[in-house]
Structure 1
């Protein structure tokens, strides 16, 4: 089935007054206003929920997507997958640090949108970036493919910078959701993050292969979860190579080791160096998997459904991903290229970074026995569009990319030492077994939102139940939730979360065990006053710090960079969607 679309000749003005038409009009000057208005102020009046629901039903009916069950009223009408964007209504994107009028829309003039047919090629193997540097034949091909991509006409969809603009358009508000003017499509900070980027890499990789007539070509992955891969790959640091990008933090070139605790506040970080930093990184990776294995949203992010504003609900893998972006991007403000979503894909290292994120998702899938993370049509039927290796505009759904072999690629098997690493108990827990620590009084989280920028916030948070049985832990995972996160700054934001066992209403001066992190890159200029969320699995953490018998926990939020407010800190029990706890990979055929 195909859908014909017209582009440059039929571009309609955005229904959102803040958006500029993609035309030859003067930059950022609104020419035609619609009766539909968008409010950048979150306190401004919004349409009542019932009208939003009816709008959504009308859209679904018009598209032939509503079945008999959709006649029911209520919030269920909002439960729908994010639909592919309407390319004819693409408008200027924006960035918090780069401003308005970013020209990120695709150069397509017309064409049919068809369902993508996955090519049946030999199973292609993506290899580690630290290994391919030894393969001169491969490196010659990779460089030549990128060189040819950069030499294509500026308006060719395969052009290197046009390919980078795809990321900008989907990340920086160039597309509104169909049926919801002024609600942008956003593929970060939620459950669309991993599948969208899996497709993005697939088409980029296939186009590179097409340019050098090599159907077996694959991108390398930067395995920074391995001790041998924790430096920036040297294939990207040669200034004479087409793979090089000058907009980086050159002080992080080899032999500097990546720091998973990095922020742009250079007094922060893990404080570790050398082998200590390698081990700290590995333990962060291991605990990220271990603590999120039983519930997919903890790893992959919260649901993103049609009509929902793009508020932050990232999984912990995405927060590690954001840290790597910040670590590679320019040291100084505005931190481009990798440090800003609008420019990140202009650096070839972006694709090796995301190949590793994709690989880590695949490892997570194997640990869960390939159990579908979200067996929900709102996720499975979310739809994107890309320009493929045959110069065809294609439509793809999440359900089509659930495993790499569906896209005819796999990953080189490399050692994963963090899986079996003995990370032990936290330093604080070990110290408490030796001597009584100094104690400070900790109060419950107070009423109303609290602003944080430099000073740590410590709060005593009640648990729903203590001393849970093993069977109870298999049925429900204990989750710490930081609610109503509102970012109040233009630049990057990071805060870390720690948990400690209290002594009555007191706690040690040490913050305790690292539980997770919230990391955000600057990406869009619109201020939606969104209230984001961070969920962290803590079932195994409580075992690590011997706190199963505690009625309360001491939670510390430690700001690293940026200013933000939070509305509440709570602990709840949520149903598991996978009952296993072992990190042993369940490879097909086991």
Structure 2
């Protein structure tokens, strides 16, 4: 001992070693006593790495995952799964002068990626004329306008629960005619459904030199514009077949109290609008659950369900106050598919697909999986409402901005057949208007605090769902009508594109923290509750970012 005292440097080294040993022992003891893992990473605030997965949670209780940060503190409840650290990823650099707008190589359409045990194996590619030719939308719309110049009517979509018998008869007639057309007619009802299958299940490759990357319009900024064009041309075909070019699809406004059940005329067995492959327990007057959990459906009174639905819509629409939060992440030429979905795409869009899908089919066909979803006539009323929500979102708080300042979004292209069997090429810039004035300096400085959760190793042929809570009681988690519940991640089975996919969950939390009086807190606790998860799902980097509004 004297020898140690006579050598201060050795004493110092011994003391440091003891301190390090204690630092490592305390978390170990805590882990053994509390069955949880607690540790601290010394790094910048708002930035922590943590990776974990849940494997086939269908047979497990809903054990939550908890993360704390702001002061780089992470707390995770122990559960069955793997714990890893994410590897760093890099992306290629592209010149701003090179267009990276997504466009399908339409002549190279091929077999789509199907989920396991698919009940049908459709060839979703359209029949192409020889030689291959198309017309641009600007020429198409000029010709269409001239053709109907004597018709002063415009198409006005009405709420599905407010239409009259005459309208219902027209809708039934139009769908019946579409179903009766020859199988190789692009206007045939199943051919129209295959359009959705091809664009949403990897039927088209990207253009040279990225032919190895398949296009998927979901979980990205293409979700809203693609589906707007899709139902636009479906609507025109329908109107032409019944001799009424002003005919418009109804929108099933499940976001309002009066519309929270399937419109009854879609459930009449002898109607062309009826579809057999639907959830038999969800027929009227059963109310839709906008945050539906296919494995553990909630049992609620009608008043409770209405309250939860309205609160959930507020979160998905109002709290998603940046373009990336609402519309999804940018998706450019060369990018892997599904970079990150927007709030409404995740739910209620995905959850309603699940809510409608049959329970006795492997992938909840037809509405519960994308390769068959458009075979159900109610698909188009569902997406008419999704399209309506995009329009409503742009008008919130004096006007919210989408991606119209990004040329790669504006130049993204799709192909659709019109009512006259013309193949029409469209691009996103057609359906958005340029801003009338530049934003002020104050507007540019406005930012939203955003919780970003990277979802990696996602098996896209499986159902996956987890809910996200902030500063909640882990023993009594809040429902959708409480501020602590901030959102949900939902993935429907739609083919695996040959590999596991990576995507992101994003949710705005500025108003959440304000409502919870947590704006000045040094840390927040985030709870992830796996509700459905067959196969490996990995949570990668989690951080808080600031996004311009």
- TM-score normalised per structure 2: 0.74
2:523 maps to 1:567? no
Cα 1:77/1:484, change in 2 over 3 Å:
farther
CA distance in 1, matches of 2:90, 2:94: 8
Q: How far 1:83 sits from its partner (Å)?
A: 3.8
Aligned equivalent of 1:150, options 157, 179, 204: 179
Name the larger-Rg structure.
2
> Residue 16 of structure 2 corresponds to which residue in structure 1?
none
Q: Deviations over 1:81-136 (max 9, x none)?
A: 4443222211111211345963000022334211113344632110111111xx22
2:319 maps to 1:296? no
Aligned equivalent of 1:529, options 493, 500, 503: 500
> Residue 135 of structure 2 corresponds to which residue in structure 1?
114
Q: How far 1:251 sits from its partner (Å)?
A: 0.6
Q: Which moved more, 1:89-98 or 1:484-493?
A: 484-493
Partner SS state of residue 262, structure 1? coil
Cα 1:161/1:101, change in 2 over 3 Å:
closer
CA distance in 1, matches of 2:528, 2:469: 7
Between Structure 1 and Structure 2, how many residues are aligned?
Answer: 430
8 Å CA contact 1:161, 1:346 repeated in 2: yes
Cα 1:396/1:372, change in 2 over 3 Å:
farther
Partner SS state of residue 183, structure 1? coil
Q: How far 1:509 sits from its partner (Å)?
A: 3.5
8 Å CA contact 2:198, 2:204 repeated in 1: yes
> Residue 305 of structure 1 corresponds to which residue in structure 2?
332
Structure 1 segment 215-234 matched on structure 2, within 5 A: 215-234=245-264
Aligned equivalent of 1:314, options 341, 347, 352: 341
8 Å CA contact 2:291, 2:312 repeated in 1: no
8 Å CA contact 2:197, 2:370 repeated in 1: yes
Q: Deviations over 1:437-494 (max 9, x none)?
A: xxxxxxxxxxxxxxxxxxxxxxxxxxxxxxxxxx899622111111243324732111
Structure 1 segment 477-556 matched on structure 2, within 5 A: 477-488=448-459, 490-500=461-471, 509-511=475-477, 513-556=484-527
CA distance in 2, matches of 1:400, 1:109: 25
2:323 maps to 1:323? no
CA distance in 2, matches of 1:368, 1:543: 17
> Residue 29 of structure 2 corresponds to which residue in structure 1?
none
Alignment gaps of 5+ in structure 2: 1-88, 146-151, 434-441, 479-483
Partner SS state of residue 493, structure 2? coil
- TM-score normalised per structure 1: 0.69
Q: How far 1:366 sits from its partner (Å)?
A: 1.8
Aligned equivalent of 1:182, options 207, 212, 216: 212
Q: How far 1:393 sits from its partner (Å)?
A: 0.6
Q: Which moved more, 1:324-333 or 1:153-162?
A: 324-333
CA distance in 2, matches of 1:325, 1:78: 40
> Residue 196 of structure 2 corresponds to which residue in structure 1?
167
CA distance in 1, matches of 2:429, 2:399: 13
CA distance in 1, matches of 2:416, 2:289: 34
8 Å CA contact 1:82, 1:177 repeated in 2: no
> Residue 394 of structure 1 corresponds to which residue in structure 2?
424
CA distance in 2, matches of 1:337, 1:244: 13
8 Å CA contact 2:463, 2:491 repeated in 1: yes
Aligned equivalent of 1:87, options 97, 106, 109: 106
> Residue 55 of structure 2 corresponds to which residue in structure 1?
none
8 Å CA contact 1:79, 1:378 repeated in 2: no
Cα 1:234/1:268, change in 2 over 3 Å:
closer
2:265 maps to 1:235? yes
Structure 1 segment 54-65 matched on structure 2, within 5 A: none
> Residue 301 of structure 2 corresponds to which residue in structure 1?
273
